[in-house]
Amino acid sequence: MSYSDLIQLYFERSDALQSYWTLYVVIIGGLLAFSSLRSRPDLVTTLLLTVLFSMFAYKNLGAIHDTSEQRIAALHAIKQYDASAPSVGDVRKTRTLLEPTLNPPDYEGVRNFHITSDLFTLATLWAMEWRRRRMARENGSTAQRPV
C-alpha cells in the first residue's frame, strides 16, 4: 500500500465516523421531536422508544468503535510507512506537514460521550412522558381519552 493509499484510507474511515455521528444526531432529534409532539401520555410507546433507541445506540456505538479501530490502525500504518525509498521524496514533506495533524480522540472518551448522550436522551424522553402524565392528572383528562 502506498503512502497516499494509507492517507486516503485514514480519511475514508474519518468520513465513515462522521456519518455514524450524523445518523446518531438525526435519530436523537427525530426521537425527541416525536416525543415532544405527543400530547397524551402513553407508557407503552415510551417503553418501546426506550428499547428501540437503546438498541440503535448500542449498534451505533459498536460501529463507531470498529471504525475508530480501523482509523487508528491506518494511522499506525501511516506512521510506520518507510519513506526512505528514493522515489518517495515527497512523502517525507507530506509526512512532516500532515502527520502532526492526525490526532484521533481516544475511544474511551468517545464511548463515554456516547453513553452520556444516550442517558441524557433517555432521561429527556422520560421527562417528557412524566410531564404529559402530570398535566393529564392536573387536567383530569386521563379518564376521558378519545378513541
Q: Where are the domains of the chain?
A: 3-139
- Residue 30: predicted pLDDT: 97
Q: What angle do CA 13, 109, 7 make, to 5 degrees?
A: 25
Mean pLDDT of the chain, nearest integer: 89
Has residue 114 got a pLDDT over 50?
Answer: yes
Confidence of residue 83 (pLDDT cuts 50, 70, 90): low
Has residue 98 got a pLDDT over 90?
Answer: no
Residue 49: burial class (beta carbons within 10 Å; 0-12, 13-18, 19+): buried
pLDDT (tens digit, 9 = 90+) per residue, 33-58? Answer: 999 999 899 999 999 999 999 999 99
- Residue 84: predicted pLDDT: 64
